Amino acid sequence: MAYSALLTDLYQLTMLAGYFEKEMHDTPAAFDLFFRKPPFLGGYAVFAGLGSALDYLSALRFTGDDLAYLKSLRIFKPAFLDYLEGFSFRGRVTAMAEGTVAFPLGPLVTVEAPLAQAQLVETALLNIINFQTLVATKAARIVTMAGPGEVVEFGLRRAHGPDGGLSEVRGAFVGGVRSTSNVLAGKILGIAVKGTHAHSWIMAFPDELSAFRAYAEVFPDSSVLLVDTYDTLESGIPNAIIVAGELRDRGHRLAGVRLDSGDLAYLSRQARRMLDEAGFPYVKILASNELDEYIIRSIQENGGCVDIYGVGTRLATCQGEGGGALGGVYKLVRFGDQPKLKVTSDIAKSTIPDCKRLVRAVGVDGKFQMDIMCRMDEVLEPGEVVFDPTNPARNKPIPASARLEDMRSLVMDGGEATGPSPSLDEMADRCREQLSRLPEGVLRLENPHRYKVSVSRSLNDLRMQLIDEVRRGYPHSVVRS
């Protein structure tokens, strides 16, 4: 995917112009990208989008066209436009691997660069990572509920714009979806494409049976027949069984049937029984129609016999309570040689200053126990007390038996990726493995267990000290006038 340097908010460019004029643009700065609440009222998020973000950063240049456009706005001075002509991102990026399970406040990504470079990229990084992480999380929730059932992505027609569809498929794959109907995504991302046929195929033939026969003739080994155009159990399944028999007589196998309306649990049970009784246990049942993690759970609780779930709108648009957007933010944590934080009247929403390590405590059973942020040079010890940044009453020690693992690594240095990007399959494998190590309650759809994220004593002290300084400081800046 190609990204433009203009993929940003205007205020990033006006701030850059200001920093440039004040000769602050080359001062070193660091920003953390993190979120405050897991999406969908859930207990976790699945980090995704890094590969796309690194593509954006490494190719970031202003073209002649871009500069001509900026000049036409008549708000930028020539010296600044000259500066933009030579602009590129030369900074460092520290990040989680895609597919890693992430929790509130822990930085997913940290950008260290001269202020102008670190500031300009905020909007695009948030755009890319907010959406792909949101979709990967939705996909993980759906795949978790689907259990052994396969999940295929069908959302392009309801995705938010043509590229909304592409970004969505990438995120969905990180979260565990196995194939898509989106042909362009298949080509660009190198992933499996799948499909059936539409109701219009049936309507273009005199009757359902001739429509099925025609499709099976063209695709004798990969036909999935849509059986609900007229009546699923009275017409669709009986006709599919006829065609399955005709295919078998010619040495082929009907791949599947698709249910796209009605009571999917009931219809899939009946369809399974009818197919089995007719001698076609290998014909798979694909279900679609406004599916999400809740409806898939309900189908299973009601004894549904679905092999493949086709998930469209609700994955593509990340609908659902607490969905629609991941509220990821990008906050200044260090400027020059000073740690920085943003204080708000609600102390729980004040940010956590400075560059930091993000460490995960892992139990002897391999399960994740808590995440801890600490200072760069700090050595954490199991057993030491760590601090809840949102509620001091929840301070507690790192479990004594914990193994401590660093959750992030340097992925870009001097504007260049430190290594090749993992494949989407590797990301999906990581996601599956990470989900299996979550404390069980964290996966729950309703009122999940709240996974603990803490800060070390040293980082907590720094934060409290800075909050105090800001609070003492701001009336002063008024009085000074």
Restricted to residues 197-226, the positions that interact with a second copy (CB under 8 A) are 197-201, 203-204, 207-210, 214-215, 217-219, 222
Binding residue (CB under 8 A) for a second copy from 94, 100, 117, 119:
119
Q: Own/partner pairs for 396-399, CB < 8 Å, 24+ apart?
A: 396/452, 396/454, 398/361, 398/369, 398/370, 398/372, 399/361, 399/363, 399/369, 399/370
Single out the segment in contact with a second copy by CB under 8 A; choices: 116-124, 247-255, 373-381, 407-415: 116-124
Rounded to an integer, what distance in angstroms lies between the CA atom of residue 74 and that of residue 244? 68
Complex with a second copy: residue 261 or 300, whichever CB lies closer: 261
Q: Which amino acid is at 89?
A: F
Region 309-368 residues binding a second copy, contact defined as CB under 8 A: 313-314, 316-319, 323-328, 331-332, 335, 340, 342-345
Single out the segment in contact with a second copy by CB under 8 A; choices: 126-134, 138-146, 280-288, 404-412: 126-134
Complex with a second copy: residue 127 or 456, whichever CB lies closer: 127
Site string for a second copy, 145-164 (x = CB under 8 A): ---------x-xxxxxxxxx
Q: What is the DSSP string of 227-267?
A: --SS-IIIIIHHHHHHHHHHHHHTT----EEEE-SS-HHHH
Q: Is residue 186 at the binding interface for a second copy, with CB under 8 A as the rule?
A: yes
Complex with a second copy: residue 13 or 305, whichever CB lies closer: 13
Site size toward a second copy, by CB under 8 A:
117
Single out the segment in contact with a second copy by CB under 8 A; choices: 180-188, 276-284, 370-378, 386-394: 180-188
Rounded to an integer, what distance in angstroms lies between the CA atom of residue 151 and that of residue 158? 17
Binding residue (CB under 8 A) for a second copy from 53, 121, 126, 358:
126
Region 254-273 residues binding a second copy, contact defined as CB under 8 A: 261-262
Complex with a second copy: residue 252 or 367, whichever CB lies closer: 252
Q: Is residue 195 at the binding interface for a second copy, with CB under 8 A as the rule?
A: yes
Single out the segment in contact with a second copy by CB under 8 A; choices: 39-47, 93-101, 195-203, 427-435: 195-203
Q: Least distance (Å) from a second copy to the CB of residue 440? A: 30
Rounded to an integer, what distance in angstroms lies between the CA atom of residue 93 and that of residue 415? 8
Q: Which amino acid is at 44?
A: Y
**Residues with Cβ < 8 Å from 62, sequence gap 6 or more?**
5, 6, 70, 84, 85, 87
Q: Is residue 128 at the binding interface for a second copy, with CB under 8 A as the rule?
A: yes
Helix (H), strand (E) at residue 137: helix 122-146
Complex with a second copy: residue 319 or 395, whichever CB lies closer: 319
Token pair, residue 283, equals: 């014909």
Q: Is 105 left (phi over 0), alpha (psi -120 to 50) or beta?
A: left
What is the distance of C-alpha 51 from the center of its chain?
12
Name beta bridge partners: 360: 371, 405
Helix (H), strand (E) at residue 214: helix 208-218
φ, ψ of residue 143 to 5 degrees: the values are -65, -40
Region 8-37 residues binding a second copy, contact defined as CB under 8 A: 8-15, 17-19, 21-22, 24, 27, 29, 31
Beta strands in 363-439 (DSSP E): 368-375, 385-386, 396-397, 403-406, 409-413, 416-417
Complex with a second copy: residue 200 or 301, whichever CB lies closer: 200
Region 61-80 residues binding a second copy, contact defined as CB under 8 A: 66, 69-70, 73, 75
Q: Is residue 184 at the binding interface for a second copy, with CB under 8 A as the rule?
A: yes
Pick from 5, 273, 264: which is nearest to 124 by CA? 5
Binding residue (CB under 8 A) for a second copy from 376, 420, 446, 477:
477
Q: Least distance (Å) from a second copy to the CB of residue 241? A: 9
